[in-house]
Structure 1
């Protein structure tokens, strides 16, 4: 938690130096943490590289709730996902 807080606290100033398109950059409140199995690392790398294309067909909300509900049968409170 502390690492994420530090990154979110100190990175916006640097990110805004990377060009005009980042002038309005800010982090949303909250964060999520996910772990992956080492045997799936190639799939994860591919997912990250193709994330922009992937999210043209699936939005983040639908993807996350699908992972939680369908893939892992995890109960959650939407208040902690979007608020």
Structure 2
């Protein structure tokens, strides 16, 4: 199979938090921020399938290409989005993302379920905290 006919299905679900988990991403900010992130990603060859979140964190699902690196993708998205928020004075204080992030690979057969989960973030977090959501990562054993 040559590179012209390669089929690559690398789906990654990333969770990244606002620095100190401050609840700075109000609904109006999230609405414009997530649209901006999708636009920036497209302009930079990053295929964002979905982005959503709540006041203190963001979920993003990307389809990576073989030549891409997840750390570089997230650095591009987070650096651009934090500069965009700060330059646009969308919030009163200085905005930063936490240094690290959590990432899970997603099977092509499970991608629809993950995208549905992202779509319902506000509803989901009415009953579950970010900490309980992140506990899933602690329970994964290989």
State the shift of 1:66 in Å.
Answer: 3.4
- Cα deviation for residue 23 of structure 1 reads 6.1
Unpaired segments ≥5 residues, structure 1: 75-83
* Relative contact order, higher structure (CA 8 A, sep 6+): 2
TM-score scaled by length of structure 1: 0.64
Question: In structure 1, what is the Cα distance between the partners aligned to 2:113 and 2:96?
Answer: 29
Is 2:133 aligned against 1:73?
no
User: Unpaired segments of 5 or more residues in structure 2?
Assistant: 1-70
Q: How does 1:25-40 map to 2 (within 5 A)?
A: 25-40=95-110
User: Structure 1 8/39 Cα, relative in aligned 2: closer, same or farther at 3 Å?
Assistant: same
1:48 corresponding residue in structure 2: 118
Q: Hey, which of these two has a bigger chunk of helix by percent? A: 1
For residues 4-55 of structure 1, the C-alpha deviation after alignment (integer angstroms, 9 at most, x for no partner) is 12222222122353x7458653212211211111111221111001011101
Alignment partner of 1:3 out of 61, 64, 73: 73
Please report the TM-score for the alignment, with normalisation by the length of structure 2: 0.41
User: How many matched pairs?
Assistant: 71
Contact 1:15 1:25 in 2 (8 A): yes
